[in-house]
Amino acid sequence: MRILHTSDWHIGRSLYGKRRYAEMESFLAWLEKTIADRRVDTLLIAGDIFDTTTPSNQAQELYYRFLQRLAGASGDSLPLCRHVVIIAGNHDSPTFLDAPKELLALLNIHVRGRASALAADEVLLLRSADSHPELIVCAVPYLHDRDVRVVEAGEDMRDRQRALIQGISRHYADVLARACELQSSTGVPIVLMGHVFVTGGTVAAMGDGVRELYVGAQVQLGFDELLPPELSTHVSYTALGHLHIPQRVGGECARYSGSPIPMGFGEAGQQKSVCLVDVGEGKEPSVELLPIPLFQRLERVNGNWETIERHLTELRLSGTEAWLEVTYEGEGPQMGIPDLQDRLNRCLEDCSGLELLCTRDEARIRRTLEGQGNGGLPGGASLEDLSPLDVFERRLEAVPEEQREALRRTYREVLARMEEEGGTVRENFRDTP
């Protein structure tokens, strides 16, 4: 069977107020053609289909029209692939994704939005056109805290983190055990799908659009906790979502496919791809990365004014079309955002191909922090390098020591609640020019 693994579409995402629908529409058209040209049997979408739990009408239209074309549901064409398997990510609403799942199942589109207490509900046996078993898919959606553990009175953050890791690991083990039972009677390959942060996974600098997965406890799962060694020999391929950089974790056949378009300027310059996987009974799986065309170029321009001006001139002369994020890092007399904006506007005058989305005066931010008496950022770091918890810790320096721990607990609870409800922590602020 030939499988195409993709994830982290984030349909409906905006970047500094710019909607990304045109890019997503181009990607879906490319994906549709790729599925047809490469004769893909099964499409796996490993979470974060939408960017928010309440996707816009336009985002929903892109999603459902793509599935309609894929399933040949318009009545004038054949299905482009036999099966589609979709799991929810941490940005998705499990209820929203699950709502049409019974109807979509009639089109061989299998959706798992909410985690189930029954392992068998997340184990799919896919069959060929003549009803022969051909693939087992462990379709494990993003696991919320409430899905895998019971809150105990008096537990601290370490207790919560330990219980959360154990609960997630136990859930995956139960699903895999059920899949192995099914494999013993069918003999077909197993593919594991999950939306989780595996320890050792690489993320871009801040601004790549990745939130901390279990933000209150900052949980990352070791690969052995996700896929125990005693069960790993049964799994032909592990298809993961959440991290936006295409990468291997735990071997050649365990991968994050990454996001199909750069979600933020932190991902500018990355080569995006999807994973084409061939699996078969008694055969070693093979993986090929298919590069995705770039539909909208993002360009980060950093430095003092001379460096910025030179870089922008080079982009103009080369005829480059791109969205720009410009960060002034020069020292000396304070320029200020209005002055910087005016200079940039003059530099980009009559240049329709370059559009300035964000202007940031890093030198001003650094001076402000130093003026607050916190010694600036460690090691010459940028504000971009700080997490929400880092920023909060710096604000706590103005609070009496005996009050800090209680405030930390409350702040972590707020972040965890935002994550549970699909809200953003960092991106709301990043998307504000």
| pLDDT score for 430 | 41
Output the 3-class SS for 31-50: HHHHHHHCCCCEEEEECCCE
Judge whether 90 and 419 are in contact, CB under 8 Å: yes
DSSP β-ladder status, 283-291 and 273-280 = antiparallel
| pLDDT score for 361 | 73
Ranges 18-22, 81-85, 94-98, 225-229: which has the least confidence: 225-229
Q: Which residues contact 32 (CB under 8 A, 6 or more apart)?
A: 66, 69, 70, 80
Tell me which residue has tokens 């409906």.
12
Q: Is the pLDDT of residue 297 over 90?
A: yes
153 and 65 fall within a common domain: yes
What span, in angstroms and rounded, lies between the C-alpha atoms of 167 and 161? Answer: 10
Question: Who wins on pLDDT, 138 or 350?
Answer: 138
Q: Which residues contact 64 (CB under 8 A, 6 or more apart)?
A: none
What span, in angstroms and rounded, lies between the C-alpha atoms of 264 and 29? Answer: 22
What span, in angstroms and rounded, lies between the C-alpha atoms of 407 and 396? Answer: 8
Tell me, what amino acid is at 78?
Answer: L
Residue 47 binned pLDDT confidence (cut-offs 50, 70, 90): very high
Residue 433 binned pLDDT confidence (cut-offs 50, 70, 90): very low
Residue 266 binned pLDDT confidence (cut-offs 50, 70, 90): confident
| pLDDT score for 345 | 87
| pLDDT score for 380 | 47
Residue 305 binned pLDDT confidence (cut-offs 50, 70, 90): confident
Ranges 43-47, 267-271, 395-399: which has the least confidence: 395-399
Split into its structural domains, the chain has a count of: 2
327 and 278 fall within a common domain: no
66 and 214 fall within a common domain: yes
| pLDDT score for 231 | 86
**How does the average pLDDT of the chain come out, rounded?**
83
311 and 419 fall within a common domain: yes
Ranges 1-10, 14-23, 71-80, 166-175: which has the least confidence: 71-80
Domain residue limits at 326: 298-430
Ranges 87-91, 145-149, 351-355: which has the least confidence: 145-149
227 and 351 fall within a common domain: no
What span, in angstroms and rounded, lies between the C-alpha atoms of 216 and 325? Answer: 30
Last residue of a domain, one of 275, 291, 307: 291
Q: Which residues contact 363 (CB under 8 A, 6 or more apart)?
A: 328, 329, 330, 331, 334, 335
Q: What is the mean pLDDT of the segment spanning 379-401?
A: 65
Residue 219 binned pLDDT confidence (cut-offs 50, 70, 90): low
Tell me, what amino acid is at 114?
Answer: R
Judge whether 348 and 314 are in contact, CB under 8 Å: no
Q: Is the pLDDT of residue 333 over 60?
A: no
| pLDDT score for 322 | 94
Q: What is the CATH number of the domain that holds 349?
A: 3.30.160.720
Question: Who wins on pLDDT, 186 or 387?
Answer: 186
| pLDDT score for 429 | 43
309 and 214 fall within a common domain: no
Judge whether 181 and 125 are in contact, CB under 8 Å: no
Whats the size of the chain, residue-wise?
433
Ranges 102-116, 194-208, 254-268, 413-427: which has the least confidence: 413-427
Residue 212 binned pLDDT confidence (cut-offs 50, 70, 90): very low
264 and 305 fall within a common domain: no
Q: Is the pLDDT of residue 206 over 60?
A: no
Q: What is the CATH number of the domain that holds 89?
A: 3.60.21.10
Q: Is the pLDDT of residue 248 over 60?
A: yes
Quick count: other Cβ atoms within 10 Å of Cβ 317? 8
142 and 275 fall within a common domain: yes
Could you give the 3-state DSSP secondary structure of residue 246? coil
C-alpha to C-alpha distances, 316 to 302, 327, 351, 406, nearest whole angstrom = 16, 18, 7, 53
Could you report the per-residue pLDDT of 59-108, keeping only the tens digit for each? 999 999 999 999 886 666 778 899 999 999 999 999 999 999 999 999 99
338 and 371 fall within a common domain: yes
Could you give the 3-state DSSP secondary structure of residue 432? coil
What span, in angstroms and rounded, lies between the C-alpha atoms of 123 and 177? Answer: 10
What span, in angstroms and rounded, lies between the C-alpha atoms of 113 and 100? Answer: 11
Q: What is the mean pLDDT of the segment spanning 103-121?
A: 94
Contacts 24+ apart (CB under 8 A), 17-20: 17/357, 17/431, 17/433, 18/323, 18/357, 20/261, 20/296
135 and 76 fall within a common domain: yes
| pLDDT score for 428 | 42
Last residue of a domain, one of 254, 276, 291: 291
C-alpha to C-alpha distances, 421 to 95, 156, 327, 410, 425, nearest whole angstrom = 12, 22, 32, 17, 11
Q: Interior CA angle at 168 toward 281 and 192, to 5°?
A: 15
What span, in angstroms and rounded, lies between the C-alpha atoms of 245 and 262? Answer: 9
| pLDDT score for 75 | 62
309 and 232 fall within a common domain: no
Q: Which two tokens stand for residue 401?
A: 């020591």
Q: Which two tokens stand for residue 137?
A: 């898919």
DSSP 114-140: S--SSGGGGEEEEE-TTS-EEEEEEE-
99 and 135 fall within a common domain: yes
Per DSSP, 97 falls in state: H
Q: What is the mean pLDDT of the segment spanning 216-244?
A: 84
Judge whether 45 and 86 are in contact, CB under 8 Å: yes
Last residue of a domain, one of 291, 326, 353: 291
Q: Is the pLDDT of residue 21 over 60?
A: yes
